[in-house]
Amino acid sequence: MNRGLFITFEGPDGSGKSTQIELLRDFLSNMGISSVVTREPGGTEIGEKIRRIILDRNNAEMSDMTEMLLYAASRAQHVDEFIRPNLEAGRMVISDRFVDSSIVYQGTGRRLGDAVSRVNEYVVGDCVPDATFLLKVDPRIGFLRMGKRVEDRIESAGLPYHTDVYNAYLELECEFPERIIGIDATAEVEVIQDRIRAEIEKLIEAHAKRDGIRASTGFCDGTGQFPAERG
C-alpha cells in the first residue's frame, strides 16, 4: 500500500486552522479519500496529558527549556503511535501544528535557537509533511477573533511574543516555498478553503504519479538538517 500524504496546518492563534481543517476533512470524505485529523500538542492519550501540563496557566514557573522538551515528548509519542502508522496504512494525516510551531514558538519566541532543531531531528526522523498550509493573520487580529477564549499559558504570553512568532512564520514561508503554502487568513472562509482544496488536488495527483515515492519537501534544507531558528 502506498504511503499516505502528511499535511500540516500552521498559523497564529485565531487564524482559523480548526475551521479549515474540518472543511478539508469533509471535502476528502466526499472524494472517498481516507484521512485522519490530529493536533499538537496531543494526538495520543499520553500527548493529551502533556498538553494539559504545557497549557496550564498555573504552571507559570515552567522554564522555556522544559516547555520545549514537553512539546518534543508529546510529538515523539504522536509520530510513533499515530502519524507514522496512519501514513504507512495509506491514510492522509492532517495535523493542526507540527515542528514548525516549535521552531517559531520555542526557537524564536522563547529564544532557544537551534536546540529545538537538534531535539526534533531525533523526534521526527523521516516523518515530515508533504505540504504545510500557513494561515497568515496579524496576531492582533487573531486575538480579537478569539475574544475571551484567550486562556492558556501560551496564548497569554503577550503581543510582542506572538508578533515575533508570526514574523518567524513568514521567514519559514520564504525559506521553504515548495512546502509551505501561505494563505491570507483574513479572506472569506470559502475563499481560503477553495485555495486549500486546489492545492490538495494537485498534491494527490502528484503523489499518484510518484507511485508512492514521497517527495522531499520537509523541514530539511538539502543537507539533512533542520533550519536554524531565528531569534
Strands (DSSP E) along 27-91, which ranges? Answer: 35-39
Assigned C-alpha cell, 81: 503511535
| Predicted pLDDT at 222 | 33
Nearest to 24 by CA among 209, 206, 183: 183
Average pLDDT, the chain: 89
- How much is the pTM? 0.87
**pLDDT tens, 10-60?**
999 889 999 999 999 999 999 999 999 999 999 999 999 999 999 999 999
Regarding predicted confidence, which is higher, 76 or 215?
Answer: 76
Write the single-letter amino acid at 165.
Answer: V
Regarding predicted confidence, which is higher, 228 or 169?
Answer: 169
Name the maximum alpha-carbon separation found in the chain. 51
CA atoms within 13 A on the CB side of 2: 15
**pLDDT tens, 92-120?**
999 999 999 999 999 999 999 999 999 99
3-state helix, strand, coil in the chain (%, to 5): 55, 10, 35
| Predicted pLDDT at 210 | 75
- β-strand pairing of 131-136 with 6-10: parallel
What is residue 231's DSSP assignment? -
3-class secondary structure, 182: strand
Regarding predicted confidence, which is higher, 228 or 144?
Answer: 144
Answer yes or no: are the C-beta atoms of 165 and 157 closer than 8 Å.
no
Q: Which domains does the chain have, with CATH numbers?
A: 6-209 (3.40.50.300)
Neighbour-count burial for 15-45, b at 16+ CB within 10 Å, e otherwise: bbbeebbebbbebbeeeeeebbbbbbbbbbe
Q: How far apart are CA 104 and CA 181, in angstroms?
A: 16
Q: Is the pLDDT of residue 2 over 80?
A: yes
